[in-house]
Structure 1
Amino acid sequence: MKTSAWRQTLQRSLQQEDLNFLLTNRIPRIALTRFMGWFSQLRHPLLARASIAVWRLFTDLDLSDAKQQRFASLHDCFTRELREGARTVDPRPEVLSSPCDAIVGACGRVEAGQVFQAKGFPYALHDLFGPTQDTSAFEGGLFITLRLTSAMYHRFHAPADCRVEHVTHIAGDTWNVNPIALKRVERLFCRNERAVLRCRLDDAQATPIALVPVAAILVASLRLHFLDLLLHVGYRGANELPCRAEFRKGQEMGWFQHGSTILVFVPPGFALCEGIATGERLRMGQALLRRQP
C-alpha cells in the first residue's frame, strides 16, 4: 500500500468515534499533556524532523505558508509564524475578523445565559467565564466556537482595534475538544483549563467583547504577548490578571502550544458574516462578525 493511501486509512480509523474517544480521552490526560510539553521543547533538528514526519501520518499538516521550513524542535513547528502576506485581514471597520485559522463549531445566540457546545449539550456562560465575571453584556448577543486542529497555524490575532482589560485564568482538565468529545462530555469547555480575555473595541461605545481560549489534551499552555507569563496546567500564580494592552486589527495576541479552541462572544448588535456556519473552515483575518446598522 502506498504511503498516502496507508495514511488515509489510518486517519479514517482514528475518525471512528468510539476509538477516537478512547484514544484521546480515556488516558492520563494531564500527565500526557505535561509529557508532550516537555518533549516538544527538546531542541534537536533530527528529532524535530522525525516527530514532524510522524505528525504528518495523523494529520494533513501543511507548512507551505510558514515563515521558516526547518525547525529545531516540535514546539517551534507548533508555534510557527506565517510568511509575509500569507493571510489577509478584512479591513472594514464594521467587521470583526477571525482571530485564528479554525473550523467553525457551534454558533448562535446567547439565550437565558446559555450557549451550546454541540446539539443538545448546553452550558451556562457564567460557568465558562468563572464566578468573578459579569456576563450580562453578552445576553442576547452571539457566540462562535472556533476549533484549531493540531495541524493548523496556532497563533491568534486581534479581531478588531481593541484593548484587553482583564484576563481570568481558570485551571481545569485537558479533555479533547474535537466534535466527538463535545457530543459526549457535558459542559466540556467549562471543565477544561481556559483563559477569559475581556476586551473593548476601539469605538465610540467601547463595545465589550470576549475571547476565551480553551486548552485541550497535549495543549495546556497559552502565551499572551502582553503578560509576562506562560499559562499552563502547572501555573500557580494569580488567577485574576488586570491589564491594559492595545491592539490593532490583525495584530498577534499570543499562541497555543498545539491545537485547541477559541470562543468569541459579542453583545447584541452583531450578525454572522456571510458563509459563517458550523463546519466551515476559516483563515485568520477572514470576516467573522459584522456590526448591524
Structure 2
Amino acid sequence: MKFEKIKYKNRKTGETLIEEVPGEGFLKFLYYNPFGKLALNAVVKRKFLSSLYGKKMDSIKSAGLIKDFVENYNINMNESIKQISEFTSFNDFFIRKLKPEARKIDFSKNSLVSPSDGKIFALERINDSSKFFLKGDEFSLGEFFKDDKLAKKYFSGTMLIIRLAPVDYHRYHFPCDGKISPSKLIKGDYSSVSPHAIRQNFRIFCENKREYSILKSENFGDVCISEIGATMVGGIVQSYQPNSKVKKGDEKGYFYFGGSTVILLIEKNKVIIDEDILENSKKGIETQIKMGEKIGINI
C-alpha cells in the first residue's frame, strides 16, 4: 500500500488539512516496509516497550522535553491549569488538566458530545463497510468484547472512533448523563492506532489492550465507552467512581504518554450523528473535534 499523509477536516472552516505526526517517519518504516513489519511483530507492539517508555516519561529528566514539544506542535498552554515550569515530568504535562472555560460543553438535553479531543470517524452501522478503514478486514464485536451478549446488543449500532494524537489533550469525559458501570480490562497488544496502522489492519481494535464500561443513559440507551491502548501508551487510568451517576462532561479518566483512541458504541436507532461527521467519514476523512462538542442527537 502506498504511503499517504494523514488528512483531516477542520470542522469550523471546512478545510482539509495535513496532520503533523510526531514520529511519522518511524510509523512509515513500521507499516510500509517489510523489515519494519518484522520489528513491529517482534518488539514494538509488545507490552514491555510501552511500559519502559512510560517509565521514562515519568522521570524528572523528561520534564526537559516539554518546552520543545509545546513549541514544535503549537500547543495552547493558556488552556492549561499548570504552566510548563510547574510540571514534574513529561507524563505530568501529558495528562494536564485544562481550565474549566477551555472546553465549551454542549449541555442540550438531546445532544451527544465528544468524550475527548481528537479526530473522529463514524460508522453509522457497524455491520456496514468503509473502503478507507475496513479494507476487507472484518471487525468482530464478539472479538472486541469477548462477550457474545454484548456483541448482539450493539450489532447494527453506531461506532464512533475518536483518535487522540500525542499532541492532544489526553483526558476523556462522559458523552452524556447516565449511570456508569465498572470498567472491564481486556489484555492485548500495543500496536499504533494511527491511520497508517488502521489502514493496514482495522482489527487492531480487536487485538490491542482495551477497557470498556457501559453508561446507562435515558436518551441514548446503553452507551459503551471503550479506551484503546497503543504503542508507547504507558497506561489507561479510570478516575471515575463505578456504579455512580455522572453528568455529561464529567471526567472519566486519562491516558499516559502516546497516541490513543476512545470508541463509543451506541445501540441501533438511538442516535443521529451530525451530517458533517458522517459525510467526511464516508470519504475516508476524519473530522477534528474538541471534548464537549456536539456530535449527534438522540432519536
TM-score when scaled to structure 1?
0.80
Q: 1:116 to 1:55 in 2, by over 3 A?
A: farther
| Aligned equivalent of 2:11 | none
Aligned pairs for 1:183-198 (under 5 A) are 183-198=199-214
The question of whether the paired residues in 1 share the 8 Å contact of 2:44 and 2:231 is answered with no
SS in 2 for 1:64: helix
| Aligned equivalent of 2:53 | 36
| Aligned equivalent of 2:121 | 105
- Superposed CA offset, 1:28-87 (max 9, x none): 442221112211222x3xx34422245458755443311111211111111000012000
- Quote the sequence identity (%): 21
SS in 1 for 2:116: coil
| Aligned equivalent of 1:14 | 24
- Superposed CA offset, 1:209-266 (max 9, x none): 1011100011141111236xxxxxxxxxxxxxxx412211111111111330011111
| Aligned equivalent of 1:131 | 147
Q: Distance between the aligned counterparts of 2:72 and 2:48, measured in 1?
A: 21
Q: 1:117 to 1:212 in 2, by over 3 A?
A: farther
The question of whether the paired residues in 2 share the 8 Å contact of 1:200 and 1:207 is answered with yes
Q: Distance between the aligned counterparts of 1:115 and 1:95, measured in 2?
A: 25
Q: 1:13 to 1:188 in 2, by over 3 A?
A: closer
- The number of aligned residues is 263
Q: Distance between the aligned counterparts of 1:159 and 1:12, measured in 2?
A: 28
Q: Distance between the aligned counterparts of 1:155 and 1:187, measured in 2?
A: 25
Amino acid at match of 1:252: E
Q: Distance between the aligned counterparts of 2:164 and 2:237, measured in 1?
A: 16
1:253 aligns with 2:252: yes
- Superposed CA offset, 1:172-219 (max 9, x none): 11000000111113511111000011121145xx81110111000111
1:219 aligns with 2:233: yes
The question of whether the paired residues in 2 share the 8 Å contact of 1:115 and 1:125 is answered with no
Q: Distance between the aligned counterparts of 2:23 and 2:208, measured in 1?
A: 26
SS in 2 for 1:104: strand
The question of whether the paired residues in 1 share the 8 Å contact of 2:239 and 2:252 is answered with yes
Aligned pairs for 1:134-283 (under 5 A) are 134-203=150-219, 207-226=221-240, 243-258=242-257, 259-269=259-269, 270-276=271-277, 277-278=280-281, 279-283=286-290
Shift of 1:274: 3.7
1:119 aligns with 2:134: yes
Compare the two structures and name the one with the higher helix fraction: 2
Q: 1:146 to 1:223 in 2, by over 3 A?
A: same
Q: Which moved more, 1:273-282 or 1:57-66?
A: 57-66
The question of whether the paired residues in 2 share the 8 Å contact of 1:11 and 1:58 is answered with no
SS in 2 for 1:32: helix
CA-based RMSD of the aligned residues comes to: 2.9
Amino acid at match of 2:243: R
Compare the two structures and name the one with the higher strand fraction: 1
